[in-house]
Amino acid sequence: MTATLRKRLSTAALFLSAVFAAGTAAAAGKIAVITPYLAQPGTQFYVEAFQAAAKDKAWDVNVIDTKGDVAAVISRLEDAATQKVDAVVINVDPAQVEAGLAAVKDAGIPVVGMDAGASPYLVTNVTSNGYAMAADTAAYVANRIGGKGNVVMFVFDAFPPVQVRGVIADAVFGNNPDIKVLDRVTPDVSDGGIADSRAKMEAILAANPDKGSISAVWAAWDQPALGALQAVEAAGRQDEGIVITGIDANPQAREAIAAGGNFEASMAQDFHGIGKAAADAVAQTLSGKPPKSSVIYVPTKLITADNVKD
Amino acid sequence: MASALKTYGTLIGFVLVVLFFWIEIPDTFMTAKNWLNISQQVSMLAVVAFTMTVVMVMGDFDLSVGSMASLAGIVAALAFRDGHGVWVGVALALVIGLLGGLLNGALVAYVGILPFVATLGTLTVYSGLAFLVSGGKTIFGRDIPTAFSGFARSGLRLGESVSLPSLTIVAALVLLIVWFVLEQTTFGRRLYAIGGNKEAARLAGIRVRRLRFLAFGLSGFGAAAAGLMYASRVASANPTQGSGLMLDAIAAVFLGMTMSEEGEPHVLATLVGVLILGVLGNGLTQMSIDSYVREVLIGSIIVLAVAASSIGKAKG
């Protein structure tokens, strides 16, 4: 028994020290990157780009994934404060982890948000400009239909980052006197948003049966745009020139845009750019010159059939 | 000597883990502040694990605790959103927890469904209810009163920069209550008798059904309390946020069971199990070790600890 115990412990100790030795490179700074969302593709891209940038700066980066557990983010923030890292980067809603952010602030450690949301606890938050993304696609719609026609909007005002997109699209369409917003639909997103958007769009198509009675569909994100596309195609009205746009340019949306059908445009966020800009913000903060703005926007790109394959 | 090692192997392992971190992280690990931190970090898991111990004493499981914790947080948050006070929301959530636990108890004790199956069913039901009443959304921001979210950030000041967190105090109270119930009352002794041999317990005149029914009620109540603690800590409620608690709680009880000669769960041993999980999370983060290593280590430690104690038993 004693032998088993000794073996058990020495194995664990060996394992630990091996991992530990691998983790201690010559470090110009110790950075903890904490997120519950590492399993999501966008977050993976940010983190990879951040790590690549950190390598050039010879930082010792510890990526901590709490696998969806937000309370564990607070715990890990407290640990980072105890450990006295040089900076912390988070990818989670700051309002939900304020208890941990307070501990980090008390320890005098700066926190940079990587698409996290605005908070007084953050030096800055690096993200995509939701206003600009909505302006780009809404302007694309307005120009494509020549500033004239009926537009169906898919919005989601309950979620602040998506709500701002709807406000901007309202402004763009409102500035075109001959554009009429036929309906401002909030789809049920519990099934992912495509199915219910399709059902809602089918009802709108049924209520407006004449060719040309619907000029465009502007969606605040890709799923409703995909649902609307399915409805238009199922109704056999794909040749009426109905212009559909989304935002996020997810793989399914890119496929639809590349197919050259009604789904014409979406916005791609520059996830790598966000990760790199977050690393730059950390570097500036560590050198004693933190970024002035509480939000840093990384440019986004309009994706159409012309550039979807790039 | 050998039997002492067998019984205390897990405890010795825990001490060695602590020593390891103390040596590797000399400045910050073995400090009052860090240990108070750890106590707060494990408090939610601790409450679930302590009350889970009550049903595991009878040889039963409650798989529904994680979704009950989520549901309780959602129920309280919705009550807050509708303008009810903190105490109304908290009381409502605890009542839901108790009723949900008693439903498990009724299914197991009176309908006669295996606990694994019955609570797997209610796990899905409670999780579905949490999604249903919340519409699948996270409730946060102004909907959560500061008196509620402030609780998790408050504590009893012990000195200049250290304070005993309120969540730790709650967990300690639950520990005390469960310890008293299991170790100091006839109710507790009867639960252990049921765990030893249900049929013998019944023949000895113990009302097995009623005790199982009540024990599951306690487990549901504890899960709801932990769900409230979680919601207070993250100042929000989300229909999945408690789901990680169930497996960790069962793991903590199993780790604790290796410390008993008879392989019975005892709540103080469960505490050691909880601390092993918490200390690994805290220490490995401070050593900047990949968070996935913690998972591998914990799984290995559970298997090794249980294997070591059962090999020892087979020989003895």
The candidate with the shortest Cα–Cα distance to A246, out of A216, A270, A226, A266, is A266
Nearest CA in chain A to B128: A190
Domain borders along chain A are 28-122+271-297, 130-268
HSE toward the beta carbon, residue A207, CA cutoff 13 A? 10
Name chain A contacts of B140, Cβ cutoff 8 Å.
93, 95-96
Per-residue pLDDT of B137-183, as tens digits, reads 788 878 899 999 999 989 998 887 788 999 999 999 999 999 999 99
pLDDT category, A13, cuts 50, 70, 90?
Answer: low
CB contact under 8 A, B136 and A93: no
Q: What pLDDT band is residue B5 in, cutting at 50, 70 and 90? A: low
**Which pLDDT score, from 0 to 100, does residue A18 have?**
47
pLDDT at B314: 57
What's the average model confidence in pLDDT over B28-35?
Answer: 91
Q: Angle between the B291-315 and B245-257 helix axes, to the nearest 10 degrees?
A: 30
Number of helical H runs and strand E runs in chain B: 14, 4
The pLDDT of residue A19: 47
CB contact under 8 A, A20 and B25: no
A15 chain-B contacts, CB cut-off 8 A: 297
Q: Tell me if A23 sits within 8 A of B289, measured CB to CB.
A: yes
Model confidence band, residue B312 (pLDDT cutoffs 50, 70, 90): low
Q: Do domains A28-122+271-297 and A130-268 have the same CATH topology?
A: yes
Q: Which residues, listed in sequence order, are joined to residue B157 by a DSSP beta bridge?
A: B163
Instruction: Select the more confidently predicted residue: A142 or B309.
Output: A142
* pLDDT score for A213: 95
Q: Which chain B residues are Cβ-neighbours of A20 within 8 angstroms?
A: 24, 287, 289
Q: Look at B41 and A189 and tell me if their CB atoms are within 8 Å.
A: no
Report how far residue B293's alpha carbon sits from residue A52's, in angstroms, rounded to the nearest whole number: 22
Over residues A261-275, mean pLDDT:
94
Secondary structure of B112-129 as H, E, C letters: CCCHHHHHHHHHHHHHHH
- In chain B, the domains with their CATH numbers are 2-315 (1.10.3470)
Structure confidence at residue A22 as a pLDDT band (50, 70, 90): very low
Q: Residue B311 pLDDT more than 80?
A: no
Q: Note the pLDDT of residue A15.
A: 52
Q: What are phi and psi of A293, to 5 degrees?
A: -85, 145
CB nearest to A158's CB, from B13, B33, B137: B137
Residue B301 has pLDDT above 70, yes or no: yes
What is the percentage of chain B residues whose pLDDT exceeds 70?
Answer: 97
* Chain B stretch 213-232, residues whose beta carbon is closer than 8 A to a beta carbon of chain A: 230
Q: Measured between CA atoms, how close is B140 to chain A, in angstroms?
A: 8
A168-211: pLDDT as tens digits: 999 999 999 999 999 999 888 766 778 889 999 999 999 999 99
Biggest CA-to-CA distance, chain B: 62
Q: Above 50 in pLDDT, residue A1?
A: no
Give the per-residue pLDDT at A192.
Answer: 72
> Which is the CATH superfamily of the domain at A130-268?
Response regulator (3.40.50.2300)
Question: Which of A7, A34, A79, A85 is the best substitution to test chain B (most B C-beta atoms within 10 A)?
Answer: A79
- pLDDT beyond 80 at A81: yes
As a whole number, the mean pLDDT across chain A is: 89
The residues in B 102-131 lying below 8 A from A, measured between CB atoms, are: 131
Whole-complex ipTM: 0.81
Reading the block at residue A164, the tokens are: 């701002």
Hey, is B135 helix, strand or coil? coil
Give the pLDDT of residue A11.
52
Q: Residue written as tokens 């000195």?
A: B159
Residue to mutate among B288, B290, B291, B301, with most A CBs inside 10 A, is B288
- Per-residue confidence at A24, pLDDT binned at 50, 70, 90? very low
**Across the strands, what pairs with A90?**
A34, A113
Whether A2 has a pLDDT exceeding 90, the answer reads no
**Per-residue tokens: A264:** 């014409």
Is pLDDT at B132 greater than 50 in this prediction?
Answer: yes
Q: Which among B20, B241, B300 is the nearest to A13, CB-wise?
A: B20
Give the model's pLDDT for residue A10.
Answer: 52
> Mean pLDDT: which of A26-40, A66-80, B65-79 is highest?
B65-79
Amino acid identity at B55: V
Strands A60-65 and A30-35, how do they pair?
Answer: parallel
Q: Do A12 and B301 touch (CB under 8 A)?
A: yes
What local confidence, expressed as pLDDT, does residue A23 receive?
43
CB contact under 8 A, A72 and B281: yes
Res. A20 pLDDT band, cuts 50 70 90: very low
- Chain A residues closer than 8 Å to B20 by CB: 13, 16
Rg (CA), chain A: 24
Average pLDDT across chain B, whole number: 91
Residue type, A123: V
Which pLDDT band, with edges at 50, 70 and 90, does A304 fall under?
very high
**How large is the average pLDDT for residues B47-73?**
97
Over residues B20-24, mean pLDDT: 94
Kind and range of the H or E run holding A184: strand A179-185
Does the pLDDT of residue B316 top 50, yes or no?
no
Averaged pLDDT, A82-110: 93
**How far away is chain A from the Cα of B119, in angstroms, using its nearest Cα?**
22
> Of B213, B194, B218, which Cα lies nearest the Cα of B204?
B194
With a CB-CB cutoff of 8 Å, which residues 130-149 of chain B face chain A? 131, 135-138, 140-141, 149
Find the residue in B nearest to A31 (Cα): B288
Pairing assessment for the beta strands A295-298 and B163-165 based on DSSP bridges: unpaired
Mean pLDDT of A5-32: 55
What is the CATH number assigned to the segment(s) A28-122+271-297?
3.40.50.2300
Q: Which of B6, B230, B288 is closest, CB to CB, to A60?
A: B288
